[in-house]
Structure 1
Amino acid sequence: MSALQCRFVEHTDEGLALLSQALDDFYFDRFGDAYLDYRPHNSLNELAGAAMLYDAETPCGCCGWKPLDETTAELKRVYVRPAYRKQGAARQLVEAIETQVRQLGYTRTVLETARETPEAVAFYERIGYRTLPEGFGPYVGDSNCVCLEKTLCAAK
């Protein structure tokens, strides 16, 4: 496999839409109709920015973000195609978004993932996220969700 290239894209990018649909399909296959309750929280139209990984011209991973307040950005739509997992692709995407939001003045990132995706929770913990027990936004009190946060260092 060649080196993956990271590109920042708009929320209207076709590759982002394709991978976002693959993520929706993954969650629907795993959780069935219960996943439909969370779809309104995952609109690409709400994204302020996104990063994509490409293998040549093939989109293989994505990560977006939206502002929650003046200091907090929420990571959204983190997804890597199965063939590219366990090779640092997700870390590369998250770090690209963290760098972007830090440069824009955000000092904290948060995210939500399904409690029944322990592999995702473990990944985020490995890269410095910690559990946010009270949750945030629409996930407060939702026992199906794990919310995590990370404090970002000031931009250099």
Structure 2
Amino acid sequence: MVNLTENGSIKIGVRKTKLMDKTYNINQIDAVFDLLVSDSPYLKKSWTEYYNKEYKDNRERLLYFDMMAISAFVIKLFQKKKSKDLQSFFDKVEIVLKDADSEVKNLILAGLIEGIQQICQYENIDMRYEFDPWLSPLTKKNWDEITGFFTFD
């Protein structure tokens, strides 16, 4: 049985979750998060701390908020000039975008990439160009499409 809230989020401990219109094993979704943070000690540590704090009470899982948390961690990597970690991270984003179905892609695009771009506005980071060195072709294409929704002076 799938235990969902009205907004499509899940409760920790259930075996399945629903993202948009498709049901996933929670392990499948966790695998995406784990992949994204896997090569950076900073990302892995930050994600683990966030996850343990947010879900220590078995609260319902909010996947888009979780992806926004990773967005904030990526901004910190950028500010610390961790180019190797950023390259590895965006290589993983490219893998997910190439291999995932539309619901998981939407989680990456609306939760992660849009999240990074929104934070860029508040941190005075020019999202149009600053991340280009680390974006592979598919990620760059989607990045630019999302950037098109923002207005610049």
| TM-score (normalizing by structure 1) | 0.36
The structure where helix makes up a greater share of residues is 2
Larger Rg: 2
**Given the two structures, how large is their TM-score scaled by the length of structure 2?**
0.36
